[in-house]
């Protein structure tokens, strides 16, 4: 095997991994990575530093949280993360003296880490780790760095080198357990394996007995280290359960009774595979065909696993894009995203789309042109079932002017999953709408200590200085209006975000035309005819002369002529001819299909291409309001 081939191979491996990682991280999951950073949290205060440092792995947490920020620009974050992995590869290769031809195997733990980022699915909403993306890559890098056999470079005899190596096992664990958590223990294990694998098998000190003795000694030191260091170093802490010290920093996917081991596999690989790295150093370069066959198999397996575990559910990604669109007031993008969805949508998508329609004043004229057929979010291995209140309830509540409920949901999430940039922004916005300026100042002061949210904080500061500006701002205009026009109630949402909003607004009588359209739209969604007619009357009162929106006209015809709502005089309503024509055509066609003996589902499907954008179709086919 020629050296030049090897050199080419190692660069080819690196390139292959870079392409693979870039594809899965950036091309396929830029929205997820942005989301992960947005639900992360780092700031330059000593409070945050102290918070991190009180538990094992604190330095990793702080640094991980800092670097995770960079996914604010997913390309930048991806580059940094891949860069760290490539650095880790070179470090391992150099440290363990892995020959070029076998070096692709070193990417296995990095691929596992890559997998850990893209397989999460809806777990992204309930991760407690604000540092998730970088914590483990940094941990792996640190463990490999600390296990570099520096003693072999010291100008001392072999025996002393071996003693230093042996002493380094407890030292590395004891010194670095608090900054690095479980990764300091990993370093100790690798050093032990390294020590054993490098011990002379043949030569003047060889002999089975000596080897066994040495193995026993190293093993004993290692076991004592792994047992005692976490135990002693966490003896006085009150921040963790007594059963946690040994695996502190290891990511477990537990939520009450749920435990998804499949999501933990990458982290097991990260802890196990590097332990055999020292043994890879024994593999020689001679058998090119064998080594390259294994490398190809590894690469294919890697790609296959990543593809299989990549969470590609369309709605999951669309929800994240829509959430961001709503936050940034990009209403057209939100509606474009809603229009692109082929299949049924989640209730959160419905609500986010409705927020965009409300802000464009199109709730009652275009809502049923979009798909309202709903499904529950698809979850990884059915391991979790999330509701809107766990996802973006605060964002939705805020945009409907329900700032107190938004604050409640935001704070509850902080309690469960920690503070995040997203939550802090949301709390700031709610405080501003509520007129709690001192509170808003507090949040902005903290956001001002972050790297990428500083700009947002500076932008928002003008509303603290002059709250009148809010009424003209795209971000605050509608929430402020709905907050002011909404009625004051006392109650709770019982975790039903959509139902809470719809029920409140369908009964709200307001003289503001934009807010009234929301009330009218909610009455239609709830299919409450009494509320609907009250709202129709109110619409008429405050919009004298203005035609009713398309869907309202459809609903009026449908309720009066089909559902026979009594006592309504429609003679004063000027209907759009096309609405009337379509209404008649809808029921002609419906009766026609019904006469053919088609069942409800078949009729619904048959009517959809022509009438799927009408209120009648929605009412007759989708039947009940689904809420989540």
Partner 1 sequence: MNVIKTTPPKGGWGVFFLLILLAACSGHPSLPSSYTQMNTEPSIWPDYVGVTIPPNIAPLNFLVDSVDDVVAEISMVNGQWSMTYGGKGGRVQIDESEWHEMLASARGKSLSVTVYTKKDGKWRAYKPFNINIAAEEIDPFVSYRVLPPTFVGFDELSIRQRNLTNYDETIIYNNNQITEGIEGQCINCHSYQNYSTDNMMFHMRLQHPGTMIVSDGELIFVNLKTDEMISPAAYNSWHPSLPIIAFSTDHTMQSFHTREITKVEVMESASDLIIYDVKNNRVQTVLSDSAEFELFPSWSPDGKWLYYCSAHYEYRDKYEDTEELLAKYKTLQYNLYRISFDSGTMTFGEPELIYDAVGKNRSAVQPRVSRDGRYVVFAEGPWGLFHIWHISADIQILDLQTGELLDASAINSSLPESYPSFSSNERWILFESRRDDGNYTRTYFAYFDREGRLHKPFQVPAEDPEFFRLYLRSWSRPELMKEPVHITPRQFYEKALTEPVKVAGVSLSE
What is the closest distance, in whole angstroms, from the C-beta atom of residue 187 to partner 1 in the complex? 26
Tell me how long the chain is: 628
Instruction: Output the smallest distance, CB 486 to partner 1, in A.
Output: 6
Between 236 and 343, CB nearer to partner 1: 236
Which residue number, 159 or 241, has a Cβ lying nearer to partner 1? Answer: 241
Return the number of the residue (162 or 453) whose C-beta is nearest partner 1. 453
CB 628 within 8 A of CB 388: yes
**Close Cβ partners of 144 (under 8 Å, ≥ 6 residues apart):** 88, 91, 92, 95, 187, 190, 274, 277
Instruction: Measure the CA–CA gap between 469 and 481, rounded to whole angstroms.
Output: 13
CA distance linking residue 17 with residue 86, whole number of Å: 9
Q: Quick one: angle between helices 347-359 and 513-526, nearest 10?
A: 150
Distance in Å, CB of 409 to partner 1, minimum: 9
Mapping DSSP to helix (H, G, I), strand (E, B) and coil, where does residue 483 land? helix
Q: Minimum distance from CB of 376 to partner 1 (Å)?
A: 20
Shortest distance in whole angstroms from residue 603 CB to partner 1: 40
Could you list the residues that contact partner 1 (CB under 8 A)?
A: 45-47, 238-242, 254-257, 402, 404-405, 407-408, 411-412, 414-416, 419, 431, 434-436, 438-439, 441-442, 445-446, 449, 483, 486-493, 504
Longest Cα separation, the chain: 110
- Rounded CA gap, 72 and 324, in Å? 12
Using an 8 Å Cβ cutoff, are 392 and 348 in contact?
A: yes
CB nearer partner 1, residue 87 or residue 126 = 126
Minimum CB separation of residue 226 from partner 1 in Å reads 22
Q: Smallest gap, in angstroms, from Cβ of residue 448 to partner 1?
A: 11
Q: Measure the CA–CA gap between 232 and 222, rounded to whole angstroms.
A: 15
Q: Kindly tell me which of 258 and 570 has the beta carbon lying closer to partner 1.
A: 258
Across 96-109, b (16+ Cβ under 10 Å) vs e yields: bebbbbbbbbbbbb
Report the C-alpha gap between 369 and 551 in whole angstroms.
Answer: 10
340 forms beta bridges with none
Q: What are phi and psi of 345, to 5 degrees?
A: -115, 165
Backbone angles phi, psi at 374, to 5 degrees: -115, 150
Contact 593/607 with Cβ under 8 angstroms?
A: yes
Least distance to partner 1, CB of residue 426, Å: 14
**CA pair distance 606, 61, nearest whole angstrom:** 55
For partner 1, give the closer residue by CB, 219 or 435: 435
* Comparison of 366 and 442: residue with beta carbon closer to partner 1: 442
Are 615 and 368 within 8 A, CB to CB? yes
Minimum distance between the CB of residue 537 and partner 1, rounded to whole angstroms? 24
Are 218 and 97 contacting, i.e. CB atoms less than 8 angstroms apart? Answer: no
Hey, which residues does 254 pair with through a beta bridge? Answer: 259
CB of 437 to partner 1, least distance (A): 9
- 497-506 and 347-359 helices cross at what angle (nearest 10)? 40
By beta-carbon proximity to partner 1, the closer residue of 71 and 483 is: 483
Cβ distance to partner 1 smaller for residue 341 or 482:
482
Nearer to partner 1, 168 or 483 (CB): 483
Q: In this structure, are residues 182 and 271 in contact, taking their beta carbons and an 8 Å threshold?
A: yes
> 315: Cβ–Cβ under 8 A, 6 or more apart, which residues?
341, 343, 345, 346, 349, 375, 377, 378
Q: 7 vs 128, which CB is nearer to partner 1?
A: 128
Q: How far is the CB of 32 from partner 1 (least distance, A)?
A: 22
Query: Minimum distance between the CB of residue 125 and partner 1, rounded to whole angstroms?
Result: 12
3-state secondary structure of 401: coil
Q: Which is nearer to partner 1, 29 or 450 (CB)?
A: 450
Supply the minimum distance, in Å, between the C-beta of residue 402 and partner 1: 6
Secondary structure class of 371 (helix, strand, coil): coil
- Closest approach of Cβ 242 to partner 1, in Å? 7
Give 575's contacts (C-beta < 8 A, 6+ positions apart).
553, 556, 557
Q: Give the number of other CB atoms < 10 A from CB of residue 76.
A: 13
Around Cβ 456, how many Cβ atoms within 10 Å?
A: 17
| Residue with Cβ nearer partner 1 (208 or 492) | 492
Nearer to partner 1, 46 or 571 (CB): 46
Are the C-beta atoms of 180 and 58 separated by less than 8 Å?
Answer: no
Give the whole-angstrom CA distance, residue 319 versus residue 338: 9
Q: CB 217 → partner 1: shortest distance, Å?
A: 34
Q: Among residues 112 and 395, whose Cβ is nearest to partner 1?
A: 395
């Amino acid at each position: 095997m020629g050296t030049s081939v090897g050199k080419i191979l190692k660069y080819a491996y690196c390139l292959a991994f870079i392409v693979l990682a870039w594809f899965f991280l950036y091309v396929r999951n830029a929205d997820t990575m942005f989301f992960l950073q947005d639900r992360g949290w780092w700031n330059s205060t000593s409070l945050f530093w102290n918070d991190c440092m009180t538990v094992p792995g604190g330095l990793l947490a702080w640094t991980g949280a800092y670097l995770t920020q960079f996914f604010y620009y997913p390309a930048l974050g991806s580059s940094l993360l891949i860069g760290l992995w490539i650095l880790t590869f070179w470090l391992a290769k150099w440290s363990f003296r892995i020959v070029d031809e076998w070096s692709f195997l070193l990417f296995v733990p990095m691929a596992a880490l890559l997998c850990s980022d893209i397989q999460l699915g809806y777990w992204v909403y309930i991760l407690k780790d604000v540092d998730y993306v970088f914590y483990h890559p940094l941990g792996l890098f640190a463990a490999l760095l600390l296990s570099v056999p520096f003693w072999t470079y010291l100008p001392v005899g072999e025996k002393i080198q071996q003693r230093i190596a042996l002493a380094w096992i407890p030292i590395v664990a004891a010194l670095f357990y608090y900054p690095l958590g479980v990764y300091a223990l990993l370093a100790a294990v690798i050093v032990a394996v390294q020590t054993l694998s490098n011990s002379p098998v043949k030569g003047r000190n060889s002999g089975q007995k000596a080897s066994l003795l040495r193995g026993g000694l190293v093993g004993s030191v290692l076991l004592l280290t792994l047992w005692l260091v976490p135990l002693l170093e966490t003896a006085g802490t009150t921040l963790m359960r007594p059963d946690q010290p040994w695996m502190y920093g290891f990511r477990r996917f537990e939520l009450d009774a749920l435990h998804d081991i499949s999501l933990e596999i990458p982290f097991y690989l990260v802890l196990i595979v590097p332990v055999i790295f020292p043994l890879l150093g024994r593999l020689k370069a001679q058998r090119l065909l064998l080594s390259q066959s294994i490398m190809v198999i590894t690469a294919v397996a890697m790609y296959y696993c990543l593809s299989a575990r990549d969470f590609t559910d369309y709605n999951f990604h669309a929800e994240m894009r829509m959430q961001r669109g709503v936050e940034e007031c990009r209403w057209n993008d939100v509606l474009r995203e809603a229009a692109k969805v082929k299949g049924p949508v989640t209730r959160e998508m419905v609500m986010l789309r409705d927020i965009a329609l409300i802000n464009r004043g199109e709730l009652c004229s275009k809502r049923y042109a979009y798909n309202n057929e709903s499904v529950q979010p698809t979850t990884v291995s059915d391991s979790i079932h999330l509701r809107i209140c766990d996802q973006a309830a605060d964002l939705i509540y805020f945009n409907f002017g329900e700032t107190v409920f938004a604050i409640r949901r935001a704070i509850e999430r902080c309690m469960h999953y920690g503070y995040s940039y997203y939550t802090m922004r949301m709390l700031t916005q709610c405080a501003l709408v509520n007129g709690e300026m001192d509170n808003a100042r507090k949040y902005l002061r903290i956001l001002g200590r972050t790297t990428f949210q500083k700009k947002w904080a500076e932008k928002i500061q003008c509303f603290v200085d002059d709250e009148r500006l809010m009424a003209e701002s795209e971000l605050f205009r509608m929430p402020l209006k709905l907050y002011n026009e909404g009625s004051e109630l006392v109650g709770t949402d019982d975790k039903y975000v959509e139902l809470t909003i719809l029920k409140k607004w369908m009964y709200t009588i307001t003289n503001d035309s934009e807010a009234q359209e929301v009330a009218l739209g909610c009455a239609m969604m709830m299919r409450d005819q009494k509320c609907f007619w009250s709202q129709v009357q109110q619409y008429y009162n405050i919009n004298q002369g203005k035609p009713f929106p398309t869907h309202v006209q459809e609903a009026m015809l449908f309720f009066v002529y089909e559902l026979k709502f009594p006592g309504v005089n429609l003679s004063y309503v000027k209907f759009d001819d096309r609405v009337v024509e379509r209404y008649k055509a809808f029921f002609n066609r419906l009766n026609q299909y019904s006469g053919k003996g088609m069942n409800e589902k078949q009729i619904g499907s048959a009517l959809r291409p022509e009438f799927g954008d009408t209120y009648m179709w929605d009412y007759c086919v989708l039947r009940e309001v689904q809420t989540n």
